[in-house]
Amino acid sequence: MPKKYHLNPKSAHPRFVSPGPFGIIEGDGCLNCANCVKKYCVYSVFRKRAFDQRQLFDTADSLCKNCFRCVQECYGRILSKTANPEFWSLGDDYWTPEIIVSNQSQAETGKIPVSGGGYGGPFTGPGFDSMWTDMSEIVRPTRDGIHGREYISTAVELGRVPKQPTFHSDAGFFHDPSLKSSPDFPELFGMDISPRVEVSLPVIFDLLPYGSFNSAVRYAIAQAAKETNTLMVIRAEDVEEDLRPLASNLVPLLPSGPAPNLAPIISWARMVQVPFTSATKVVEQVKEIKKINPAAVVSVRLPLNPRAEENAVALEGGGVEVLHFIADERGREREASSPRFIKDLIYNIHLRLVKDGCRDGLSLIFGGGLAMAEHVAKAIICGADAVSIETTLLIALECRVCGRCAREMSCPVELEKIAPNWGKQRVVNLMAAWHGQLLEVLGAMGLRDIRRLRGEVGRAIFLNEIEKETFGRIFAASDQKPVMKKEALHALAS
């Protein structure tokens, strides 16, 4: 059994107080009671509050837990609560304030978000919210890896898995020890031993979507990739000297076409990435790379667009080992008039490769819009081997998805000023929390290995299917029966 994978979250406090969802408003007419309700706040909000000089707001709103005790007990009835627009204007309708704040608190503590009182969100929603994972295994043995009593692996191998070992008929080779140490050993046997890279989490770090960052941000994320034993995609030109010790966790993104000066980078990388131009050109480029470093896993970066499925089929067998599909940052198909959502595209591409009998010839990584730990599990259920995150990394570093940097304005949380160690710890914490949540999911499903989850659509409930199967059967067929008019109903009552 491999060494147990364990992350060490350490508290990494936010540099900026994040706005609370609800504000406390104090009206006029305080009676100056000796027994002011503020003294008895269960959470001591009024004692702990302070004025945040950098952001110019009262921290009471961030400390308040919205229990309404003070509002309901104030003798002068002068306290009230209301929605805090600062909070509700965070992000957008995909990167919702709740997602941003939840990821930030996970990045702070490294703990799984736990709360009481059931789920208060909508019944269903677009995107990943239109499926539920079925964490309800009560028939088969389940695992209790969450509390460390049983090991659950979240490791995945990226690369090609041959369908079966193939050998030359001449078995005599086996007995020649000198040949075994030869670098040509696999070829001599006709054996397909493609290189593979194991990552301990099925989440790799992708190029940052926006913002102009100095190397500190990249360095922090690269450090986190090392500590979490995963990979970070980085433009080859951004690989500076100080990142070289982290080489085994970097995936340099090469420019398309020949780049002779990049040979040194290719030679040390465990995985390299090339952008997709056309199938034939990519296959040529892969051959060049493999000449320089046959042990490097070659991944191709493709837009997740309407041609993604064909491109996947075209690239299979051409020496490419990993496909990294990128949707837009809201998880939508690119270049499509009515874009589909990433989960549906994952499912289509996965199924197509399964049907063509070549699914294991390629590892599939999908990125774009993966915002929560549950999205990782859902993407894998739909058929991904691993996912990549981008905006989420920035959120771990306190980004509020305000889009100011895209408009060349200053960053309200001064991302350019982070200390690399703090940044590293925030990303590690977030991954620790996500890892914990993946263990919850896997444990509850009775799985010991995340690789078993890939394409396991039986572990999920899809809204459209369950609707058709239950309500569709009941309601779609029934003919409209007369319904009592409201007026008639009320007339009867009076």
Q: Please, which of residues 67-106 interact with other proteins by CB under 8 A?
A: 67-69, 71-75, 77, 80-83, 102
Q: 6, 56, 93, 123: which one contacts other proteins (CB under 8 A)?
A: 123
Asked whether position 379 contacts other proteins by CB under 8 A, the answer is: no
Cβ–Cβ under 8 Å, residues 220 and 425: no
What gap in Å lies between CA 256 and CA 216, rounded to an integer?
A: 27
Report DSSP letters for 383-436, one per residue.
T-SEEEESHHHHHHTT-----TGGGT---TT-GGG--HHHHHHHHHHHHHHHHH
Smallest separation, CB 44 to other proteins (Å): 11
Q: 156, 444, 450, 453: which one contacts other proteins (CB under 8 A)?
A: 444
Q: 47, 48, 54, 65: which one contacts other proteins (CB under 8 A)?
A: 65
Smallest separation, CB 343 to other proteins (Å): 13
Q: Which is nearer to other proteins, 185 or 471 (CB)?
A: 471
Smallest separation, CB 33 to other proteins (Å): 12
Cβ–Cβ under 8 Å, residues 327 and 335: no
What would the two tokens of residue 256 be? 């398309």
Cβ–Cβ under 8 Å, residues 280 and 299: no
Tokens 């914490």 correspond to what residue? 429
Binding mask 134-173 for other proteins (x = CB under 8 A): xxxxxxxxx-x-xx--------------------------
Tokens 């980078």 correspond to what residue? 265
Smallest separation, CB 156 to other proteins (Å): 19
Asked whether position 34 contacts other proteins by CB under 8 A, the answer is: no
Rounded to 5 degrees, what are φ and ψ at 231? -120, 155
Q: DSSP character for 451?
A: G
Q: Which is nearer to other proteins, 392 or 437 (CB)?
A: 437
Smallest separation, CB 431 to other proteins (Å): 15
Q: 124, 166, 278, 464: which one contacts other proteins (CB under 8 A)?
A: 124
Cβ–Cβ under 8 Å, residues 23 and 84: yes
Binding mask 449-468 for other proteins (x = CB under 8 A): ---------x--x----xx-
Q: Which is nearer to other proteins, 56 or 484 (CB)?
A: 484
Instruction: Please enumerate in sequence order all residues whose Cβ is within 8 A of that of 223, keeping only pairs 6 or more positions apart, or say none.
Output: 246, 420, 421, 423, 424
Q: 22, 173, 210, 422: which one contacts other proteins (CB under 8 A)?
A: 22
Q: Which is nearer to other proteins, 36 or 461 (CB)?
A: 461
Chain positions 407 to 426 lying near other proteins, rule: CB under 8 A, are none
Q: Which is nearer to other proteins, 113 or 275 (CB)?
A: 113
Chain positions 472 to 491 lying near other proteins, rule: CB under 8 A, are 472-476, 478, 480-486, 488-490
Q: How many residues does the chain have?
A: 494
Smallest separation, CB 36 to other proteins (Å): 13
Q: At what angle do helices 215-227 and 420-445 cross, to 10 degrees?
A: 40
What gap in Å lies between CA 347 and CA 221, rounded to an integer?
A: 29
What would the two tokens of residue 83 be? 């929605």
Q: Which is nearer to other proteins, 128 or 366 (CB)?
A: 128
Q: Which is nearer to other proteins, 28 or 408 (CB)?
A: 28
What gap in Å lies between CA 191 and CA 197, rounded to an integer?
A: 18
Q: Which is nearer to other proteins, 56 or 488 (CB)?
A: 488
Residue 364, beta-bridge partner list: 323
Q: 60, 246, 315, 373: which one contacts other proteins (CB under 8 A)?
A: 373
Q: Is the dihedral of CA 374, 375, 376, 381 positive or negative?
A: positive
Q: 13, 28, 122, 171: which one contacts other proteins (CB under 8 A)?
A: 122
What separation, in Å, do the N-terminal and C-terminal C-alpha atoms of the chain show? 76
Smallest separation, CB 14 to other proteins (Å): 19
Residue 456, beta-bridge partner list: none
Instruction: Give the burial string for 161-170 (b: 16+ CB within 10 Å, else e).
Output: eeeeeeeeee
Scanning 222-230, 232-240, 311-319, 444-452 for contacts with other proteins by CB under 8 A, the matching segment is 444-452
Smallest separation, CB 363 to other proteins (Å): 25
Residue count, binding to other proteins (CB under 8 A): 86
Scanning 309-317, 370-378, 412-420, 448-456 for contacts with other proteins by CB under 8 A, the matching segment is 370-378
Asked whether position 121 contacts other proteins by CB under 8 A, the answer is: yes
Q: Which is nearer to other proteins, 124 or 280 (CB)?
A: 124
Q: Which is nearer to other proteins, 5 or 22 (CB)?
A: 22
Q: Which is nearer to other proteins, 120 or 172 (CB)?
A: 120
Binding mask 190-229 for other proteins (x = CB under 8 A): ----------------------------------------
Q: Which is nearer to other proteins, 137 or 192 (CB)?
A: 137
Q: At what angle do helices 420-445 and 97-109 cross, to 10 degrees?
A: 100
Q: Is the dihedral of CA 92, 116, 432, 141 positive or negative?
A: negative
DSSP E strand stretches across 286-370: 297-303, 322-326, 363-367
Radius of gyration, alpha carbons of the chain: 27
